Each structure stands twice: as C-alpha cells, then as structure tokens.
Structure 1
Amino acid sequence: MKIACSNKKAYHDYYIDKTMEAGIVLSGPEVKSLRAGKANLKDGYAGIRNGEVFLYNIHISPYNFCTDSAADPLRMRKLLLHRQEIRKLIGKLNEKGVALIPLKIYFIDKGKAKVELGLARGKKIYDKREALKEQQAVREVQRMLRHQE
C-alpha cells in the first residue's frame, strides 16, 4: 500500500468515529499526479447526491506531461461504495454535527486508488488545546527515555 496523500489536519480538527474504504473514479492524468503525490485533501469533504457519494474540494494538480486538455483540479469525483454502505452513511450524516471527511488516498497492490473516509465530529477549541498538551507530554517523556539510555 502506497499512500499518495493524507489529511493530518482532520485528526486535529475532528474526532474520527469510524473509517471506511472507497474506490474513486479518476482520469488517467489524475492517477499519474496522485502517484507523484500532487494532491491536497485539506479542505475536502464528501457528500451524497442522488444516492451517490462524491468528493468535493480535493485538489489534484494537473499532470505536467499530459497532452490532453487538463481537467479542473477541484472537480467533484465520484466514490465507489455499495448501496448498503451508502444507506448507512445517509443515516449517519443526518445526525447533527457529523461530516464525512477524506483521511488519505492510497494505492493498493493491484494499482487501484482508494480513499479512506472518516465519519467525523467537530472538536471545540479547548479540545484541540488539550490534545496538543497531551502530544507534547508524550513527546517529552519519549525524549527523557531516549536520553537515559
């Protein structure tokens, strides 16, 4: 599994309740750009329209060596999920404060691109501060343990 890009900010801004894997419909030059790591998930989110799941605001840069006209880097991209999974998502997304956020895009062994989606609930500012304090405390303990050895 080769990770093309990840959304580290999502773990800072949201509580991730559940994750799931979905296929993504891409054009050829977009796949090449993803393999080169030229994508940004920071402002991306997923939504449901007409019983299908789409990704919005995912920026995949145009491939430099493409001879065709480049597609819009911010276009919406369809996700491939089973009907049962989509029905479950519709039920979860109707709750207040729940969003569907892309966490990472990666390639599996067969060369297919997959997206890891997370059902997320927003964090408050004080929650973010507490999480940063906990991370700093863990890092300090690790540093102390390394210096003692």
Structure 2
Amino acid sequence: IAESYAAVEEGELWLVNCYIAPYAQAKTWGHEERRRRKMLASKRQLSRMWNATQRQGMTLVPIVMYFNDKGLVKLKLGIAKGKKLADKRETSAERDWNRQKQRLLKQN
C-alpha cells in the first residue's frame, strides 16, 4: 500500500494503485495486481472525505490494511497534506547530515 491512494469519484470511494499479489493456486483465474478497487463507506464518511480532498487540497492515504475476524480486508485511511518544496529540502538536508554524522562516528 506504499504507493497507493484513495479517491472519491462520482460518489464512490476507490483505492488506486494498490498492489495485491496474485494467488499462486489460482493460475487460470488470476487478477490484475494494480487495478482500481471499489471500497465501501457510508454516505457520511464519503461526504467528509470528499470535502477534505476538494476544499482543503488534502489526499486520502491508506495507513493500515488488515483482515478482520470474518476474513474481510479492512483499510484505515488518513487525510494527509503534501510537503512543500522547502520542507522537502529541509528533510533531505537533515538526512544527509545524519548520514555524514554516522560516517564520522564510524571512522573514529
């Protein structure tokens, strides 16, 4: 679920670009690994998610995928805001400094 996201389109919730490995025992009846998958949500949840993504410029990101006690797949979604360019530069500079620090500590 690392590269996937969810989108509200035409009143329906869709999971996009989520990789689900093929089942090896089902050779003839396989499935597409990265197809769009429809998700179930109440109207209230859908309207809240749609408002967050359309008005505030947020994105729906899957956080956790798990099986419940009935054997159904559940997916927890989070509403996230993307990083700005300055934030990305700051993060990469901090990452580079940490690498350099580790190298210096390793040499001593």
1:86 to 42, 46, 53: 46
2:74 to 95, 114, 121: 114
| Residue identity opposite 2:6 in structure 1 | A
- Counterpart in 2 of 1:60? 20
- Counterpart in 1 of 2:29? 69
CA apart distance, 1:115: 0.2
Distance in structure 2 (CA, Å) of the matches to 1:60 and 1:108: 17
Which of 1 and 2 has higher RCO (CA within 8 Å, sep 6+)?
1
The verdict on how the C-alpha distance between 1:114 and 1:127 changes in structure 2, with shifts beyond 3 A counting, is farther
Q: Structure 2: which 5+ residue stretches go unaligned?
A: 99-108
* TM-score, reference length from structure 1: 0.56
Q: Which has the larger radius of gyration?
A: 2
1:125 to 83, 88, 91: 88
Q: Which runs of 4+ in 1 moved over 6 A?
A: none
CA apart distance, 1:130: 8.9
- Quick check: which one's strand share is greater? 1
Query: C-alpha root-mean-square deviation of aligned residues, in Å?
Result: 2.2
* TM-score, reference length from structure 2: 0.75
